[in-house]
Amino acid sequence: MENLLIPIGGGNEIGASSYLYIVDGVKILVDSGIRFNVKEPYPDFELLKSIAPELDAIFITHAHVDHCGSLHILSSLYPETPIYTTHETAQLLSLMVEDAIKVRYIKEKSLDEWREYRLLDEALARIERREFFDTVTIKDVEIQLFPAGHILGAASLLIKYGESRSIYHTGDISLQSQSTVGSAELPNSKVDLLVTESTYYYSDRRFNREKAVEEFYETVVRVIERKGKILIPVFALGRAQEIILLLTEGMRLEKIPPMTVYVDGLAREVSNIYENLLNRRLFNYYVQPAPTYEGLDFKEACEENLREADCIISTSGMLMEGTPSYVYASFLAKNGKSAIIFSGYMVEESFGYRLLNDRETFKSFKCKLKKHHFSAHSDRDELREIVERLFPEKVIFVHGYPGKEVKYHGFNREVIRF
């Protein structure tokens, strides 16, 4: 029997991740993400329906919306199919998908927001939660969940089929440990097909976490010493919690001065869930959820928070217009002593990208702009290490923009036989 992999999204791109595997006649869909693109936000569900009118199982690797943002639409197309993910992802996912619907509705008023929330409720009710290293059996195929590092709850999947054949689907993966999550754990058994992310595979960028942390602390010290304010725009899930723990640790080790830090936007809600899941406090005397004020509108509340706090950590990470971080940035723009510290990836359409790359936008900001590179993804060396350690017969890269080395890259809608 022919075995197939078809990326119906998230092949040669970052966004709308969704991969159909057909092994020994069993149809498994891994992930159901969205793109930050209003015109075509979803994976190609039409193609999916035509190839697989029925699915045997749906797996969600983690709660970033490029992997789960369209789960409610997918689940409405396959109302009988079980959905599997880890406990952590199941909890984080509901908040993240709900927010993605909200954000889409702001941009696209024709969206039937309430229908989407109803579909999300139905999808959430069908999720079957599993622990790491649990095995799910679908007919003659066994799927085991491995820790992928990256963010809390992120899983890689070992899919075993036939006479001792296996596929390893990494999802987003990191071999470096972070403050909130350890490194990925790879299986010891042999792998025939490795399907891995390639976010930074085609880039020369290397991630040295210790160096990034030291440089980040140096920037913080400089701004606080000259009595400026700091804004750190962050992704709500993963990066925000890393930055919170880094600042707390920096103060504890006296690498940065004690200061008041407020966490705002979706980052505040996600951090509350992280506290429960990690059974560890993220908020403390110095780092607090941004207060809400009765009688103040959103802008006034941001202004008040900037008066009270030395540092604000807020979503969105890319300074998208209309988000809390954008409002904070517009206040800080007038103050030459203050700084905006970026810590992650930015798409070209975002205001953050324009601010760092467009002279005119840049000139309108008096505050300092600084970028420090943190990553929850493997760089090229780490990805090569994963390939070396698993020593597969065949490698397919997905979740990236292929550069010169396209020999092993899986493109959207491509039928890959193995």
CA angle 282, 95, 170 (to 5 degrees): 85
**Residue whose CB is less far from Zn ion, 86 or 248:** 86
**Residue whose CB is less far from Zn ion, 62 or 160:** 62
Instruction: Give me the least distance between CB of 156 and Zn ion, in Å please.
Output: 12
Region near Zn ion per CB under 5 A, out of 65-73, 92-100, 217-225, 342-350: 65-73
Sign of the C-alpha dihedral computed for residues 404, 405, 407 and 411 taken in this order: negative
**Residue whose CB is less far from Zn ion, 172 or 269:** 172
Task: Give the three-state DSSP class for 92.
Answer: helix
Selected binder of Zn ion within 64, 130, 239, 372 (CB under 5 A): 64
Instruction: Give me the least distance between CB of 232 and Zn ion, in Å please.
Output: 19
Does the footprint of Zn ion cover residue 242 (CB under 5 A)? no
What residues contact 242, with CB distance under 8 A and at least 6 apart? Answer: 178, 179, 180, 374, 376
Region near Zn ion per CB under 5 A, out of 59-67, 113-121, 258-266, 347-355: 59-67
Does the footprint of Zn ion cover residue 409 (CB under 5 A)? no
What residues contact 325, with CB distance under 8 A and at least 6 apart? Answer: 231, 233, 234, 265, 314, 315, 316, 317, 319
Region near Zn ion per CB under 5 A, out of 58-66, 126-134, 183-191, 302-310: 58-66
**Residue whose CB is less far from Zn ion, 172 or 192:** 172
CA gap 135, 146 in Å, rounded:
10
367 secondary structure, DSSP code: S
Residues 162-181 that bind Zn ion (CB under 5 A): 172
Instruction: Give me the least distance between CB of 62 and Zn ion, in Å please.
Output: 6
Instruction: Give me the least distance between CB of 16 and Zn ion, in Å please.
Output: 10
Give the count of residues interacting with Zn ion (CB under 5 A): 3
Q: Render the burial of 247-282: b for 16+ CB within 10 Å, e for the rest.
A: bbebbeeebbeebebbbbbbbbbbbebbeeebeeeb
**Residue whose CB is less far from Zn ion, 98 or 172:** 172
**Residue whose CB is less far from Zn ion, 64 or 368:** 64
**Residue whose CB is less far from Zn ion, 154 or 287:** 154
- H-helix or E-strand containing 30? strand 26-30
Instruction: Give me the least distance between CB of 74 and Zn ion, in Å please.
Output: 17
CA gap 178, 137 in Å, rounded:
32
Q: Which residue has the tokens 């700091």?
A: 230
Of residues 91, 103, 84, 118, the one with CA closest to residue 41: 103
Does the footprint of Zn ion cover residue 66 (CB under 5 A)? yes
Amino acid at 87: H
- Give contact residues for Zn ion (rule: CB under 5 A): 64, 66, 172
